[in-house]
A and B are shown apart, each in its own frame.
Chain A
Amino acid sequence: DSGVTQTPKHLITATGQRVTLRCSPRSGDLSVYWYQQSLDQGLQFLIQYYNGEERAKGNILERFSAQQFPDLHSELNLSSLELGDSALYFCASSVGDLLQETQYFGPGTRLLVL
């Protein structure tokens, strides 16, 4: 158990809908990362927040957004969902914002868009 929690574990929704994925980092960790893992694209970095501020941006679509709250939990919002958004979404956390930080991954949220 990495100490990172994600809810829900599974989510089934329809195209065009909007969903919110939630992540609670390890106690004391200030950075939260979001990743998407799909069969065709592999594991893709989406976005990183550090202490409430956006720190790094990867291959995140404009239909997706995220935020980190004062209690350091984070939410990933996915809107206008398409079939291709079906994937496993991981959250990871680390203590700080330095390049050498080790990231601890949560168990993931499996999203199925029908």
Chain B
Amino acid sequence: AQTVTQSQPEMSVQEAETVTLSCTYDTSESDYYLFWYKQPPSRQMILVIRQEAYKQQNATENRFSVNFQKAAKSFSLKISDSQLGDAAMYFCAYRRDDKIIFGKGTRLHILP
């Protein structure tokens, strides 16, 4: 069965610094999609970035980028130039067909 693991329940980073959130997953499939979502205190889920497994190039969205290691089944999120507004829960997610699986989340604190 597919699983998604976020091994860091909480992390802290100084404002303007860079932080990396880890995510590993388990699947026997070769085609799938991976996502990072942000959930701020408002509790809304906001898509941060998406990665197609068939693409070798790592996805990038402004200050957010991923390090996708397909063989290692690793999908980490790097946030550069951290801002106070980045403080939130971050969820890693896997999707293939009917299977949509989320990790337990990493709470990110930004220190001023």
- Interface set of A (CB-CB < 8 Å, partner B): 2, 33, 42-45, 56-58, 88, 90, 92, 99-100, 102-108, 110
Contact = CB atoms under 8 A, between A and B. Distances in A.
Given A43-B91, A99-B97, A100-B50, A107 B42 contact: yes
Contacts of A90: 45
B46 interface: yes
Main secondary structure of the interface of A (DSSP, over half): strand
Given A42-B104, A58-B100, A110-B43, 17 more contacts: A42-B102, A43-B102, A45-B101, A45-B102, A56-B98, A90-B45, A92-B45, A99-B31, A99-B32, A99-B33, A99-B96, A100-B50, A102-B50, A103-B47, A106-B44, A107-B44, A108-B43
Most chain-B Cβ atoms within 10 A of its Cβ — which of A2, A33, A58, A105?
A: A105
Interface residues of B, number: 25
A58 to B, nearest CB: 6
B95 interface: yes
A33 B105 CA distance: 20
Contacts of B93: 43
Contacts of A58: 98-100
A108 B44 contact: yes
Main secondary structure of the interface of B (DSSP, over half): strand
A105 B46 contact: yes
A88 B41 CA distance: 13
